Amino acid sequence: MNRTHLLLIFFLFVVMRIFSVNPPASEVRAVWLTTNYGLDWPRNRISQEVQKRELIAILDNLQKHNFNTVIFQVRARGEMFYDSKIEPLASVIVPSGYGKPKFDPLAFVIEECHKRGMELHAWMVTYPLGLDKHVRSLGARSVTKKNPSITRKYRGEWFLDPGNPKTDDYLLSIVKEIVSNYDIDGIHFDYIRYPDNTGKFPDAGMYRLYGNGKTLHQWRRDNITRFVTKAYDWVKSQKKWVQVSSAPLGRYRALGNTGAGWTALETVFQDAAMWLKIGKHDALYPMMYYKDHLFYPFVDDWLENGNKRIIVPGLGTYQMIELGWSRQDIENQMDYTRKNESAGQAYFRTDNVLSNTKGILNTLEHYYRYPAKLPAMTWLSDEIPGAPYDLTAENINGKLLLSWKTDDAADRVTYNVYRSESEDLDVHKAENILATGLREPFFEYAASIDEKGYYYYVTVSDSYHNESEVCYPAFFVHSETVK
């Protein structure tokens, strides 16, 4: 067998493997969009308009590849990527000046994501404040200057002190500012943990005051859980549909002798499974930036501890650069998470995906070849919205325009569009989905002319992603002649 035949067999094997994975109709497809140091965005530091165009290009590319969730970094280390009254605007954002309109990156990215049928989750770094040099660059605007009693310096880096109850108040003021002023779909906590337990984090005074007989480790875990509980309860009291999530370490706990030394529970006092168990989180996006025996059993452990909430393993596409992983390593993890019915996949970071590192974007073109709905948060609400009605289909200048009516138009709803060659529509088959997350009651697309007739359907999804029954279909023949 010659080399050409071998290459052909290998190519067919890869294609068959990719297409053998049956895409689910509901699946989280998320990226972390890193703004710290401008890693994913912004690259330009001198023009607001260029920064906006860069962001639009990123979102267009994500939409093209059927991503449905953008986790956008709105708080880095003590500085913001939105118009905040609490902490300063990040220095990488071109500030407003004479003759320039105010540029609020969070408001802008929310609007642009929603236009593209994607959700926007506001990602905030929680406790770290940065190294000395960074903190000094913020001057009097730094929380280390404005509110020094809730900050601690540890190994040359500054942190908010999780053991001080006043830290909860400070962080909650940020959560309130974001949730109250922006139409976000989720609030997402990162670094919601202690730095580590290998040295002595300077919290002995707080422990003496508030330890109440607990072990130091349990007290620290309870400190994080205390803030999580306050944040969750406040968010749900204001906007119940806003998904509360976080990105814990990829390994929840040591499994026997595997994983010991760097886990969420035992190393950084992050009892994320407890947050799910007591109902103070809607989703977890664990940072599963490992492979082989440090990946697969720990995915299973998260799923076993999921309490029927949303578990989305975070896949480390950046490791293809930093540790020389192969694309196959990531593909195997994608396959495993689907096979074991996680709620989806998230990728760190956006640029490692969209720059097609080792061809990973080519894989995703097939892996996410159809749009996907988002999983329902039935523990928040299980009411089913009413179906749309009066669906019409017409050819407008060579494009098919679908439009419909709904009694829920004033509510915070989205729409899903389906197409089928028969009247027997299965909404659980991804290949029937044309679009998800639409915010307006119409959909236009350039349908191919194949002389076939299709049935079109629309459903309504509420803010908790509960989906209505399908509407009465519209039938349309894709022909050069009007039929």
Q: Are residues 284 and 427 in the same domain?
A: no
Domain holding 420: CATH number? 2.60.40.10
pLDDT, tens only, 29-61: 999 999 999 999 999 999 999 999 999 999 999
Please determine, for residue 239, whether its predicted confidence score (pLDDT) is greater than 60.
Answer: yes
Same domain, 300 and 449: no
What's the DSSP call for residue 422?
Answer: S
Q: Give me the amino acid identity at 92.
A: V
CA separation for the pair 120, 111 (Å, rounded): 9
What is the C-alpha to C-alpha distance for residues 343 and 347, in angstroms, rounded to an integer? 14
Residue 423 lies in a domain: yes
Same domain, 361 and 394: no
Q: Is the separation of the CB atoms in 113 and 69 below 8 Å?
A: no
pLDDT at position 10 is: 44
- The predicted pLDDT at position 342 comes to 98
The better pLDDT of the pair 13, 322 is held by 322
β-strand pairing of 128-131 with 151-154:
unpaired
Q: Point out which residues pair with 131 in neighbouring strands.
A: 157
Tokens matching residue 189? 């906590």
Q: Same domain, yes or no, for 320 and 405?
A: no
Could you tell me if residue 149 is inside a domain?
yes
- Statement to judge: residues 313 and 405 lie in one domain: no
Q: Is the pLDDT at 409 greater than 90, yes or no? A: no
CATH value at residue 169: 3.20.20.80
241 in any annotated domain: yes
End-to-end CA distance of the chain: 53
Q: Per residue in 301-321, pLDDT tens?
A: 999 999 999 999 999 999 999
Instruction: Establish if 282 belongs to a structural domain.
Output: yes
pLDDT of residue 191: 98
Q: Two tokens at 334?
A: 């994608």
Alpha-carbon Rg for the chain in angstroms: 24
Residue 428: which domain range?
Answer: 389-477
pLDDT band for position 157 (cuts 50, 70, 90): very high
- Do 232 and 180 lie in a common domain? yes
The percent of residues above 90 in pLDDT, for the chain, comes to 86
Average pLDDT over residues 346-350: 98
The answer on pLDDT for 232 being more than 60 is yes
| Same-domain status, 163 and 260 | yes
Give buried/exposed letters for 89-102 (b at 16+ CB in 10 A, else e). Answer: bbebbbeeeeeeee
In contact, 458 and 388? CB cutoff 8 Å? yes
Q: Is there a single domain that holds both residue 37 and residue 175?
A: yes
Q: Is the pLDDT of residue 7 over 60?
A: no
The residue-averaged pLDDT of 9-21 equals 45
Q: Where are the beta strands (DSSP E) in 235-295?
A: 243-246, 283-284, 287-288
Angle (CA) 214-217-223 rounded to 5° is: 80
* pLDDT tens track for 244-301: 999 999 999 999 989 888 999 999 999 999 999 999 999 999 999 999 999 999 999 9
pLDDT at 189 over 80: yes
Question: Does residue 405 carry a pLDDT above 50?
Answer: yes
Q: In degrees, to the nearest 5, what angle opens at C-alpha 268 toward C-alphas 266 and 269?
A: 65
87, 78 Cβ separation under 8 angstroms = yes
Name the residue type at position 72: F
- Tell me, what's the pLDDT at 449? 74
Q: Amino acid identity of 147?
A: N
Residue 377 domain flag: no
pLDDT score, position 100: 65
pLDDT of residue 336 exceeding 80, the answer is yes
> Do residues 293 and 395 both lie within one domain?
no
Omega within 30 of 0 (cis) for the link into 42: yes
**Domain check: are 416 and 308 in the same one?**
no
The residue that leads in pLDDT, 5 or 377, is 377
Q: Do residue 324 and residue 466 come from a single domain?
A: no
Please give the pLDDT value at position 98. 60
pLDDT tens per residue, range 57-113: 999 999 999 999 999 999 999 999 999 999 999 999 988 766 667 899 999 999 999
pLDDT at position 21, please? 60
Region 193-222: mean pLDDT is: 93
Q: How many domains does the chain have?
A: 2
pLDDT in tens, 433-478: 999 999 999 999 987 777 789 999 999 999 999 999 999 999 999 8
Mean pLDDT of the chain: 93
The interaxial angle of helices 327-339 and 296-304, nearest 10 deg, is 30
Question: Which residues have a Cβ under 8 Å from the Cβ of 289 and sit 6 or more positions away?
Answer: 250, 314, 315, 316, 318, 319, 348
Residue 106 lies in a domain: yes
On the question of pLDDT at 479 being above 60, the answer is yes
pLDDT category, 408, cuts 50, 70, 90?
Answer: confident
Residue 98 and residue 138 share a domain = yes
Point out the domain boundary residue: 367, 401, 435: 367
